[in-house]
Amino acid sequence: MTDRIDASEEPRQGASPGFNTGPKLPTNRISYFADSGISIFGKAVSWLWIVTLVVVLSNVFSRFILGRGSIALEELSWHLFGATMMLTLAYAVVTDDHVRVDVLREKFSLKTQAWIELLAIVLLLLPILYFMIDELIQYAYRSFIRGERSQAPSGLPYRFIIKSMLPIGMSLVAIAIVSRALRCATLLFGFPRAFTPKGDSTHAATTATKSGD
């Protein structure tokens, strides 16, 4: 007789795009499309790392080979680095690749992990993100109103552009976090209802195994 599989411990049932292997939270329609959008956006933005590398190498070549340093190139390199970092944070949340302290967490059941995540998100993380986003929007807006630019004579203008990446990045993280909370709710309460994407052969195989018990 085949062992019965607990639905809460199924390895890939309804997993969102990009998730690693192992026991995963079920997904729902809202989380699936939110995670898919963030995954696509994160992968597209990650190409900026190549642009950043090209700018850094150009600056190094100009400074040490040609003997002509460029403040604009130097500032552009860290602008690109900061923008790419901020805009890919949400992707790290969606793919569950962000840093965790798993010494205790890995010993808990999936439902216990879901309870801890849901409470931490609702009571701690979302309120902090709200205040951060609100302040960062004002931070970028003040830069736009003042026409802020680099203090260096040949530095970059329009400083508000790089500062706008902060609230945008945090807003994407908030969307990813809400999606994660909804997935926890799906596991714990069955709402929003679980959603299995088309082509999820793992779920189909699991269902067939259960029916054969």
Cβ–Cβ under 8 Å, residues 136 and 166: yes
Going by C-alpha positions, the residue among 171, 189, 174 that lies closest to residue 122 is: 174
What burial class does residue 145 get, using C-beta atoms within 10 Å of its C-beta: 0-12 exposed, 13-18 middle, 19+ buried?
exposed
Phi, psi (5° rounding) for residue 22?
A: 105, 175
Average pLDDT for 57-76: 87
What is the rounded distance in angstroms from the CA atom of residue 184 to the CA atom of residue 35?
A: 14
Average pLDDT value over all residues in the chain: 84
Average pLDDT for 153-158: 90
Of 60-69, 170-179, 193-202, which range is least confident? 193-202
Bridge partners, residue 97, by sequence: none
21-58 pLDDT per residue, tens: 346 899 999 999 999 999 999 999 999 999 999 999 99
- Say what the pLDDT of residue 203 is: 47
Cβ–Cβ under 8 Å, residues 191 and 154: no
Confidence class for position 199, pLDDT limits 50, 70, 90: low
Q: 157: how many CB neighbours lie within 10 A of its CB?
A: 11
Place of tokens 């999936």: 110
- Say what the pLDDT of residue 41 is: 97
Contact partners, residue 83, CB within 8 Å, separation at least 6? 48, 162, 165
What is the rounded distance in angstroms from the CA atom of residue 145 to the CA atom of residue 93?
A: 33
Of 35-39, 157-161, 207-211, which range is least confident? 207-211
Average pLDDT for 145-150: 95
What is the rounded distance in angstroms from the CA atom of residue 160 to the CA atom of residue 192?
A: 39
125-137 pLDDT per residue, tens: 999 999 999 999 9
Structure tokens at 158: 């329009």
Give the residue, 9 or 110, on which the prediction is more confident.
110
- Residue 141 vs residues 94, 132, 147, 167: alpha-carbon distances, Å: 28, 14, 10, 11
Confidence class for position 101, pLDDT limits 50, 70, 90: low
Average pLDDT for 154-178: 96
Percent of the chain topping pLDDT 70: 80
Cβ–Cβ under 8 Å, residues 149 and 73: no
Average pLDDT for 55-74: 87
What is the rounded distance in angstroms from the CA atom of residue 23 to the CA atom of residue 113?
A: 11
Cβ–Cβ under 8 Å, residues 126 and 174: yes
